[in-house]
């Protein structure tokens, strides 16, 4: 589980950057699964402890310590990964992370619809306001529209 001294930087233009990014997650996943399995074995040894099981218990403890060191060494590869605290709360409460994802997508979609509705409302309001003002003060509205047109062309 070593990277031969070559560490991919996030956002690098290397074509293997995506593969490398996925590799680091696979390595972490395998390391965590192995750690979990070792912890399970340690629990079995401790539960069925006899004087003969002292040596296997010690070996498994050393294996767990090595696993923790390996996980600690991997953490620098995940400095760019952001995990929402809400997701961690879901996991701590024993909820499925897919439910979190679904709910987050639904909230995002609802918020997007709300914002799009506001944009449409303001667009209609602007058009109606320009129409009404155009009937009251047509010269001023023409000047305003000319100025807006010039500013919009300068932005492009």
Q: Give per-residue pLDDT as tens, 57-92.
A: 999 999 999 999 999 999 999 999 998 999 999 999
User: Which DSSP helix (H) or strand (E) runs through 69?
Assistant: helix 54-74
126 Rama sector, left if φ>0, alpha if ψ -120 to 50, beta otherwise = alpha
Name the pTM for this structure.
0.54
State residue 90 phi and psi, 5-degree precision. -55, -50
Tokens of 49: 């402890």
Domain boundaries, the chain: 22-84, 110-155
pLDDT digits (tens, 9 = 90+) for 4-36: 333 334 444 444 566 777 899 999 999 999 999
């Amino acid at each position: 589980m070593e990277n031969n001294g070559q560490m991919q930087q996030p956002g690098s233009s290397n074509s293997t950057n995506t593969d490398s990014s996925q590799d680091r997650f696979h390595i972490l996943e395998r390391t965590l699964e192995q750690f979990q399995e070792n912890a399970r074995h340690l629990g079995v040894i401790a539960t069925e402890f006899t004087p003969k099981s002292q040596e296997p218990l010690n070996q498994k403890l050393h294996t767990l310590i090595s696993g923790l060191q390996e996980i600690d060494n991997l953490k620098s590869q995940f400095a760019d990964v952001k995990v929402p605290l809400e997701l961690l709360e879901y996991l701590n409460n024993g909820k499925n992370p897919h439910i979190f994802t679904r709910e987050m997508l639904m909230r995002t979609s609802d918020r997007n619809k709300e914002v799009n509705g506001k944009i449409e409302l303001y667009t209609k309001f602007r058009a109606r306001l320009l129409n009404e003002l155009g009937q009251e003060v047509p010269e001023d509205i023409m000047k305003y529209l000319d100025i807006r047109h010039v500013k919009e062309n300068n932005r492009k």
